[in-house]
Amino acid sequence: MKVLVIGSGGREHALVWKIGQSPLVEKIYCAPGNPGTATIAENVALQVDDLVGLLAFARKEAIDLTVVGPELPLSLGIVDLFEEHELKVFGARQNAAIIEASKAFSKDLMKKYQVPTAAYEVFTEVTPAIAFLDKLGIPVVIKADGLAAGKGVIIAQSRTEAVAAVKDMLSGNAFGAAGARVVIEEFLRGEEASFLAFTDGKNIVPLASAQDHKAVFDGDQGPNTGGMGAYSPAPVVTPAIHAKAMAEVMRRTVDGMAAEGRPYRGVLYAGLMIDGDSVKTLEFNARFGDPECQPLLMRLKSDLVPVLLAVANGDISRVELEWYDQAAVCVVMASQGYPGDYPKGDVIDGLEAAAKLEELVVFHAGTAMQGGKIVTSGGRVLGVTARGKTVREAIERAYRGVAAISWKGVHFRRDIGSKALK
């Protein structure tokens, strides 16, 4: 088989790494890829939003399966386009990917199909938006409606901050068109978990539990990012919570999307807030989480390719996933200044030393090759991911890998996985 993976982040490097282990696969391409994917796949100089170019490449190379990593091409309709040309593709169609592309759609869907979530309203004008946030009180959550690379959520701790966020978004300054509508919702307390499942629009096969760390600084402080690290399994997802998430969140959502004429096929990611035995849905993503994808694929024992094919073929009724009875932890190493402005082009040292460590893989995200050296080229640069018998052992191994790698101004959280130890 020939497989094409679309994307250039840590998630895509992890997908290429796992797909590369399948005996079914003889050749992998990654578009546009990064220096990490280049060690396993052939990188193709096509951007994720160049749907016409990607289609032409897939047809020319007779690609057997295309795996779409990021949300942007899904929201642009790449799956619909490939299917029209009878190409097998893993991912949600455009009318289903709206579950991530519009937070207002997602919240309205949850309300209609009784998926537990926070109280909310949707606004396009400042005055009524401010009136509603005054009604909810502080802290309050303000979300840009459209795609904002995981950064379009502000948890305002003061009225001044909340009003500024609303004005910034609705004026178009903060997130452009993505913030032309805002969702304002009540702040939920508890512990977050990431709940991912494969679905063919009817059957649902859950992945192992995971937990992301959104805030940029230790102790969940500072602005939200695309994710500063993740671990699996997440002890907060007890068997009772798992059953509740499947019945009240995943089942109702998949059935609701089908009832709306938007059958959801692909991987569905629910961000959950867990407080005691209460489960509420923060958001949905129409793809693998990044960085959750990295520890999840490190723990997945099953061959991923037959699973992706079964989803693409629209029938996962026979799919069973097997997991290593180990924990995995991913620590994101980021550029100084992220999620704000950050420098690029700093030489990364220590990658070879880290590669020699046992049960550890360094997944590339924001890296580039420059003058024969690997340099920083993004906000989140590397996802150092390790496996261990316990979460503690996986944490220690991951941070051993982090300690081996350096560049000017490198930033990472030092508390990834610490909630699991408690």
Q: What pLDDT score was predicted for residue 151?
A: 65
Quote the CATH superfamily of domain 327-421: Phosphoribosylglycinamide synthetase, C-terminal domain (3.90.600.10)
Helical packing angle, 159-171 and 126-136, nearest 10°? 150
Looking only at the bridges linking them, the beta strands covering 215-217 and 221-224 are antiparallel
Per-residue model confidence (pLDDT) at position 174: 65
Closest to 204 in 3D by CA, of 149, 252, 135, 151: 252
Percentage of the chain surpassing pLDDT 70? 98
When mean pLDDT is compared across 152-166, 217-231, 233-247, 408-422, the lowest value belongs to 152-166
Which position has the higher pLDDT, 166 or 303? 303
CATH of 2-93, one of 3.40.50.970, 3.40.50.2300, 3.40.50.20, 3.40.50.1370: 3.40.50.20
| Digit-coded pLDDT (tens) for 260-318 | 999 999 999 999 999 999 999 999 999 999 999 999 999 999 999 999 999 999 999 99
Mean pLDDT score of the chain:
95
Q: At 124, is the pLDDT very low, low, confident or very high (cuts 50, 70, 90)?
A: confident
Note the pLDDT of residue 327. Answer: 98
Over residues 327-343, mean pLDDT = 97
Residue 292, token pair as written in the block: 């959750």
Q: Which residues pair with 367 in a beta bridge?
A: 376
The pLDDT, as a whole number, for residue 154 is 86
Residue bearing tokens 């930033």: 411
**β-bridge partners, 27:** 2
CATH of 191-313, one of 1.10.8.870, 3.40.30.10, 3.30.470.20, 2.30.30.60: 3.30.470.20
According to the model, what pLDDT value does residue 149 have?
65
Domain residue ranges of the chain, discontinuous segments joined by +: 2-93, 125-180, 191-313, 327-421
Residue 331 CA to residue 312 CA, distance in Å, equals 31
pLDDT average, residue stretch 243-267: 98
Q: Would you state the CATH architecture of domain 125-180?
A: 2-Layer Sandwich (3.30)
Number of H helices, E strands in the chain: 15, 22
* pLDDT score of 169: 86
- The answer to whether the beta carbons of residues 348 and 364 sit under 8 Å apart is no
**Parallel, antiparallel or unpaired: strands 229-232 and 327-334:** antiparallel
**Quick check: 172 pLDDT over 80?**
no
- CA nearest 303: which of 17, 10, 19? 19
Strands 266-275 and 278-285 come out as antiparallel
Q: What residue has token string 């990490």? A: 36
Q: Residue 173 has what pLDDT?
A: 67
For residue 102, the surrounding DSSP H or E stretch is none
